[in-house]
Structure 1
């Protein structure tokens, strides 16, 4: 009996729009860390104040799944991250709600290791192979806090990647792989701690990467029946640079030129997501049908997976992915904004911010599809759509009762009807932009705006909707999510075009 092929069937990616210039970090900290001045080159991705690992994963998943809001085929969701916003709440469940997936979806969080992304991918492959799921989505995202004036502040970045795993329309066939578990502690973050504690770099490089990675590569090559000389693309996230990845490739019997760019110059290392971020970037750029790809991820051991691209890869040409996200970056030079967005400085928010933001969890549950999935209603008799949905239609000429069916707004085209830029209300990034958004196919919603610069908003502008943090309940440690509108200006038009 011939074994059924399993592999990647699609990809998506998301890198936040803001790109903090490393020169700004170096100059701000030159008084205490003058050695940073020589490292102040390029830029790192920077999440907006209302973004976290969950919201970035949602955006990567939307890129993967496309604008079709029928996602009933997805029966597995595996989310890998070391910076999940909730320690005891299914973070993958939040993502599933935002994507309006069926409640029967198998949703799993994979955490506590830099290998979370590849571990989630291996778990999805195993699930599909066993017949537990047919169409699994793998998401990886990280948004790590760093101490000011630390090397990690320069090296790290924020981002997410998405892959789908199945047995049909495979774009990259899974040939085999391995997972080594070695309790080599290069860094750690204890319970309740905000920052990683990092060990000495030379020890990590010489005793960790140099000795553990080649063992994993060798085992993966054997499991996949592949020779090192056959690998055309060698993916290894490391803050030690692409040259170091080339050295490890050579030591493992793989051509040094197969080592992929680590995207350090214009993105930074996105933690548990970075192996998949680099994989998506490779699939979008240089990979050709027949090319063999090795994905290696170090952390508490090492994962190594081997794929072979197929001619179906061309079907992904329209995706935004990592390439589109990187192209749509907006330079940020305000280092204080970076510190503020990441909660690294105490600042005066004003009396208007002094309010209890307790979330009524009963209301959230009863209206979950409306709040998390932006699902409104459509009258089955008149065709009128509305948000929120209600028992009685808003149609002024025919107030039908109990005739509404669920109607998803998140992927619909919309424009700004009216707007305001408010300096008086409490805002993490003043002025607070909000306004009335009207949808091309009917319906209107009053929404907050995000990812926008002052003076670039106007009525009639097209918007795209994004899933973001609405506000924080700092007293209870809860964060509330909802959808926001991103006006399509010149600075983010590339993102919108790529998404379409």
Structure 2
């Protein structure tokens, strides 16, 4: 028996109206809005945020034995993004990390692998995180349909919130979207061919095989959760499988968009947020084939309600991008002047990993002060080599701030559009540590940045220098 122990999600703050995309691209609007990753976010950073939400303050990351990351848009072609995520979440050094990529069913495939590992006894707890930050061809339907988000699910053998069934999987190698190693943007065959002979055929057949395996009826399920290439695909599958449209979990198309490899897990999280005990939820993930399984909820599912932000909070917590041009700058899809940064040291990044990724500071054993970064001497009492390493608190308040017009992302356009100038703050964290941080997800105005403003840490892409991507923590207004 393998159970879901906890769940989490992350949806970026920024949204853009599809009417605005239609205006800028000169195409009809699909209506609603979609979630857009900020200029300093990608699939990796959002997966960390979903993992933070999943673990909350109650679960110990040191008890996790493996971390699986699923995405079609990993920032690295050769490098385990999952190892960086595991470090940022402060997992042990001896955990197993695996990246699942190349298909929009990577999220459900990663969950299957996690369940198999737990069932086989090679891991007691596995954290599955999926994130998607897609760069899409302008003026295509992809640009309006797809959004950015991440989801996380922790599985294990303990008595959890829902039991996971065995999986049924099928393959469908043609048709379907693809990206060659030389392609930046996704391509596909004619959309009707993809929909009818790829997605609908594969998803319906795999769901029917699952029902036959467990001698179940589609009416036995309170919700159906699956990813589709567009809104029409959801209704076609519901009709073909003989389900009532009321059984369909809200696909979050009107306010988030279709989020690739993360979408099935994101919708599963949304279904679990509102589930009651003893409900069955059918879940499927499509991409060059299909994975299907179901979960049966337990009494503990209601105990977890309200303890995670998940989709309930993050869907409502939003800000709108004003123009399509601003969206293009977030995506780096138009030529704009870019700042030239000095080289950065990958060696220092490696050396300071514990300070930079899991974000440890030092606590002086003489005076008890918590400071950051870690150094040999306490900056408060001067005690030398007499400290312990501690995690820095995630929340605090702004002590003072400045708008920096001269240095950093605030002085640039393009990659750093909408954040001019840079917002730099000194913050007093809840554990007493005073931090120097860059603030993101807000504009440099006295109405948005002020003394005693509540902030929280957020994992972001800091810069891209020396042909490497450097990640760490920034501050942001508390999302609620």
TM-score, length-scaled by structure 2 = 0.94
Q: Secondary structure at the match of 2:192?
A: helix
Match of 2:15 among 13, 19, 33: 19
1:14–1:321 CA contact under 8 A, matched in 2: yes
| Paired position in structure 1 for 2:346 | 361
Q: What 5-or-longer segments of structure 1 have no aligned partner?
A: 495-500
Equivalent residue runs for 1:337-416 within 5 Å: 337-349=326-338, 353-356=339-342, 358-396=343-381, 399-409=382-392, 411-416=393-398
1:86-128 Cα distance to aligned partner (Å, 9 max, x none): 1111100110111111101111111111111001100100010
| Paired position in structure 2 for 1:453 | 443
What CA distance in whole angstroms lies between the structure 2 residues aligned with 1:244 and 1:252?
12
Decide whether aligned partners of structure 1 residues 330 and 200 sit closer, same or farther in structure 2, where only a CA change above 3 A counts: same
| Paired position in structure 1 for 2:413 | none
2:3–2:160 CA contact under 8 A, matched in 1: yes
Q: Secondary structure at the match of 1:79?
A: strand
| Paired position in structure 2 for 1:295 | 283
Equivalent residue runs for 1:221-370 within 5 Å: 221-241=211-231, 244-285=233-274, 287-317=275-305, 318-349=307-338, 353-356=339-342, 358-370=343-355
1:176–1:307 CA contact under 8 A, matched in 2: no
2:175–2:193 CA contact under 8 A, matched in 1: no
| Paired position in structure 2 for 1:192 | 182
| Paired position in structure 2 for 1:498 | none
1:79–1:92 CA contact under 8 A, matched in 2: yes
| Paired position in structure 1 for 2:121 | 131
Q: Secondary structure at the match of 1:416?
A: strand
C-alpha displacement of 1:449: 0.4
What CA distance in whole angstroms lies between the structure 2 residues aligned with 1:208 and 1:46?
27
Q: How many residues matched?
A: 469
**Matching of residue 434 in structure 1 with residue 424 in structure 2:** yes
1:175–1:224 CA contact under 8 A, matched in 2: no
C-alpha displacement of 1:17: 0.3
Decide whether aligned partners of structure 1 residues 16 and 7 sit closer, same or farther in structure 2, where only a CA change above 3 A counts: same
1:177–1:219 CA contact under 8 A, matched in 2: no
Match of 1:467 among 422, 446, 459: 459
C-alpha displacement of 1:69: 8.0
What CA distance in whole angstroms lies between the structure 1 residues aligned with 2:279 and 2:386?
54
Q: Secondary structure at the match of 1:59?
A: helix
RMSD (Å) for aligned C-alpha atoms = 1.6
Equivalent residue runs for 1:3-42 within 5 Å: 5-30=1-26, 33=27, 36-37=28-29, 39=30, 41-42=31-32
Q: Secondary structure at the match of 1:373?
A: coil
C-alpha displacement of 1:223: 3.4
**Matching of residue 419 in structure 1 with residue 408 in structure 2:** no
C-alpha displacement of 1:249: 3.0
C-alpha displacement of 1:321: 0.3
What CA distance in whole angstroms lies between the structure 1 residues aligned with 2:453 and 2:214?
51
Q: Secondary structure at the match of 1:126?
A: helix
What CA distance in whole angstroms lies between the structure 2 residues aligned with 1:466 and 1:24?
28
1:266-320 Cα distance to aligned partner (Å, 9 max, x none): 01001100001111111113x2211111111111111111111111101221210
Decide whether aligned partners of structure 1 residues 71 and 166 sit closer, same or farther in structure 2, where only a CA change above 3 A counts: same
| Paired position in structure 1 for 2:412 | none
| Paired position in structure 2 for 1:497 | none
Q: Secondary structure at the match of 1:61?
A: helix
Choose 246-255 or 161-170, whichever is displaced more.
Answer: 246-255
What CA distance in whole angstroms lies between the structure 1 residues aligned with 2:49 and 2:215?
36
Decide whether aligned partners of structure 1 residues 244 and 112 sit closer, same or farther in structure 2, where only a CA change above 3 A counts: closer
1:13–1:63 CA contact under 8 A, matched in 2: yes
| Paired position in structure 1 for 2:76 | 86
TM-score, length-scaled by structure 1 = 0.90
What CA distance in whole angstroms lies between the structure 2 residues aligned with 1:375 and 1:271?
33
Q: Secondary structure at the match of 1:187?
A: coil
Equivalent residue runs for 1:165-184 within 5 Å: 165-184=155-174
| Paired position in structure 1 for 2:38 | 48
C-alpha displacement of 1:188: 0.5
2:199–2:287 CA contact under 8 A, matched in 1: no
1:224–1:306 CA contact under 8 A, matched in 2: no
| Paired position in structure 2 for 1:163 | 153
Q: What 5-or-longer segments of structure 2 have no aligned partner?
A: 410-415
